[in-house]
Amino acid sequence: MEVIILMILTFVGYYVAYQTYGKYLSTKIFKLSAEHLVPSKAFEDGMDFIPTKKGIIFGHHYTSIAGTGPIVGPAIGIIWGWVPALLWVFLGSIFMGAVHDLGSLVLSLRNQGKSLSDYTAKYMNRRVRYIVFSVIYLELLIIIAIFGLVIAVIFDMFPQAVFPVWFEIPIAAVLGWLIYTKSKNVVLSTIVAVTLMYTTVVLGHFIPIHLPPIAGIPPTGIWTIILLIYVFFASTIPVNRLLQPRDFINAWQLFIAAGLLVLGVLFSGIAGDLTLVAPAYNPHAVGAPPLLPFLFITIACGAISGFHSVVSSGTTSKQVSSEPDALFIGYGSMLMEAVLATLVIIAVAAGIGIAYETGDGSLLTGPAAWQEHYQSWSASQGLGSKVSAVVIGSANMMESLHIPKALGIIIMGVFIASFAGTTMDSATRIQRYVISELFSDLKQKNWGANRFMTTAVAVVTAAILAFSTGANGKGALTLWPLFGAVNQLLAGLALLVLTVWLRKKRPGLSYLLAGIPAGIILVMTIWAIILSEGTYLNDGHILLAIINFLVLLLAVWMLIESWISIRRPVRSDSPE
């Protein structure tokens, strides 16, 4: 029962936060108004700027920001104990992540749908604009390259997921055609699409697809190539033809999977099978870095993530049809991501204890099951380890609903792979926008206007990184240790820009609503970067040490520029 009570209290807290703090920010701080002309209507072009219904754009935005972040982050952060993991997700999402997401979206809506790096120049200066661009480009480069590998690994672990994941593409394309071309009923079309999607999940159980090596290239490399080709085309067609409807039905996949997990918690908890087997507080996990500051960069999505600011100011702001929708889309989706992260924490802190099969076929339960999987930092670090912990824990809880464990594993495998795919899609499209804005800023508008060329730059550079270490497509793993710090640094930079904007546009101390979260996340991130620098040097990882040091310099430079901007006298200006 303790797990049920914990889940209910947490979910109620998210709802109360939305109804109070979220609405306070939207009405009193950001002053959202339906009277303001939004970019999707001002620049409607049928390609990127497309006014979209609130529910649909919520699904697109949510699945874009979520990806596998709120799944793998908590699955490794739990090693320090479920209490610090849950507290960081709960408080971080309400007071930091949701403020960050909503603020980034609003600033883009007020600046012609431009990206974070572009409107930074307006509120701070051009030097900072290039700092932010560098951080965004590096982050998106790693995401595009690594998520191809993530999906490839999941396909290898769960070959039953291959067929349903790829079949989502024609289902989404038909859904977009029905809604936008044929003006069919959205609810009915969605029900049919989601039903077809889950039909393919069942079929996937009977049609596992194992990809063999081709021309000496292992399956991970082949899948990475296929996925990079796919995202090139997905990122150059109108957003409402594939990306948006695919994300929308994936959002429903989440709602259903989350619903099954909630019911699983209730049924298994009432039956007495579900108890917290992870330690409440475990600051000295074997081989793990110190809880402070590394918890704050290990669990990002679910609490606060810089990637969200890129999505908010990248694709989402170009599709919001009315400014007040930003509350539901920006603040609401962040809290929904926290809901998912909470369920993941429960799955790996309690669900894994129901039954855990070891490598030699032994079956463990209770704390012994948790200890077997999380015996050390290195044992729980690999992608496969993190994914399997969530999948096993979730499938265990679903069994209480009489869902066969094999089917529960497929449902979760498809769910994780699908979310990784939507993030890869969105990251590629956003990278195109960012490159286009840079070309325009450098007076190369013809290049910037060519979506095929800018997308090619995004995909080719990601491919170079992915295959930099060989044909297996695992090159992005070289830079992956930097991702957590780079991502959280970007979150801090976005909050700093929002702080400067609030300082200039709103009276009093309202800028502290963004300034305090910015200070917390930047202190933790810079602290982690400094500690990591010593580790990289001691371990002989010179490339990581060089890039990490450059990231540190950018962070310090950005802090200095932000402080100068905040200290400038506030001039009388328009409220927006």
* DSSP code string of 87-114: HHHHHHIIIIIHHHHHHHHHHHHTTTT-
- What integer pLDDT is reported at residue 448 of this predicted model? 62
- Residue 25: inside a domain, yes or no? yes
Q: What is the pLDDT of residue 383?
A: 60
Q: Is 155 a domain residue?
A: yes
Residue span of the structural domain in which 200 resides: 2-29+54-354+362-485
Closest CA to 163 of 133, 197, 130, 137: 197
pLDDT digits (tens, 9 = 90+) for 471-522: 999 898 888 889 999 999 999 999 999 999 998 888 788 999 999 999 999 9
Asked if residue 112 is part of any domain, the answer here is yes
Q: What pLDDT sits at residue 576? A: 56
**What's the number of CA atoms in the CB half-sphere (13 Å) around residue 41?**
12
| pTM for the predicted model, two decimal places | 0.90
For the stretch 208-239, pLDDT in tens is: 998 889 988 999 999 999 999 999 999 899 98
| Per-residue model confidence (pLDDT) at position 124 | 82
**CB 260 within 8 Å of CB 401:** yes
Structural domain includes residue 47? no
Q: Domain of 289: which CATH number?
A: 1.20.1730
Arithmetic mean of pLDDT, 387-401: 88
- How far the first Cα of the chain sits from its last, in Å, is 49
For the cut 90, the answer to whether the pLDDT of residue 538 exceeds it is yes
Residue 382 has pLDDT above 70, yes or no: no
Residue 380 confidence (pLDDT): 60
Per-residue pLDDT for 572 more than 50?
no
Tell me, rounded to whole angstroms, the distance of Cα 195 from its chain centroid. Answer: 26
Using alpha carbons, select from 136, 132, 154, 155 the residue that is nearest to residue 144.
Answer: 136
**Tokens 């082949």 — which residue?**
222
Is residue 287 predicted with pLDDT exceeding 80? Answer: yes
Question: Which residues are CB-neighbours of 392 under 8 A, at least 6 positions away?
Answer: 351, 352, 356, 409
- Asked, for residue 498, whether it belongs to a domain, the answer is no
Confidence bin at 389 (pLDDT 50/70/90): confident
Question: What whole-number distance in Å separates Cα of residue 495 and Cα of residue 183?
Answer: 39
CA angle 256, 257, 261 (to 5 degrees): 115
The strand pairing partners of 320, in sequence order, are: 52
Query: What phi and psi values does residue 364 have, to the nearest 5 degrees?
Result: -110, 150
DSSP string covering 145-170: HHHHHHHHHHHHH-GGGHHHHHHHHH
Q: What is the pLDDT of residue 575?
A: 43
φ and ψ of 413, to 5 deg: -65, -45
Mean predicted lDDT score pLDDT of the chain: 89
In a domain, 327, yes or no: yes
Of residues 69, 142, 92, 84, the one with CA closest to residue 387: 69
**pLDDT higher than 80, residue 152:** yes
User: Are 147 and 230 within 8 A, CB to CB?
Assistant: no
pLDDT beyond 70 at 574: no
For the chain, how many structural domains are there in total?
1
Give a yes or no: residue 34 inside a domain: no
Helices (H), 243-376: 243-270, 291-298, 306-312, 325-326, 333-349, 366-373
Q: What residue has token string 């209490």?
A: 83
| d(C-alpha 231, C-alpha 212), whole Å | 22
In a domain, 234, yes or no: yes
Confidence of residue 320 (pLDDT cuts 50, 70, 90): very high
Q: Sorting pLDDT into bands at 50, 70 and 90, what band is 379? A: low
Nearest to 303 by CA among 108, 496, 66, 64: 66
Summarize the confidence of residues 8-37 as an average pLDDT: 97
Confidence bin at 450 (pLDDT 50/70/90):
confident
Rg (CA), the chain: 22
3-state secondary structure 500-565: HHHHHHCCCCCCHHHHHHHHHHHHHHHHHHHHHHHHHHHCCCHHHHHHHHHHHHHHHHHHHHHHHH
User: Could you tell me the sign of the dihedral formed by the alpha carbons of 553, 511, 18, 576, in that order?
Assistant: negative
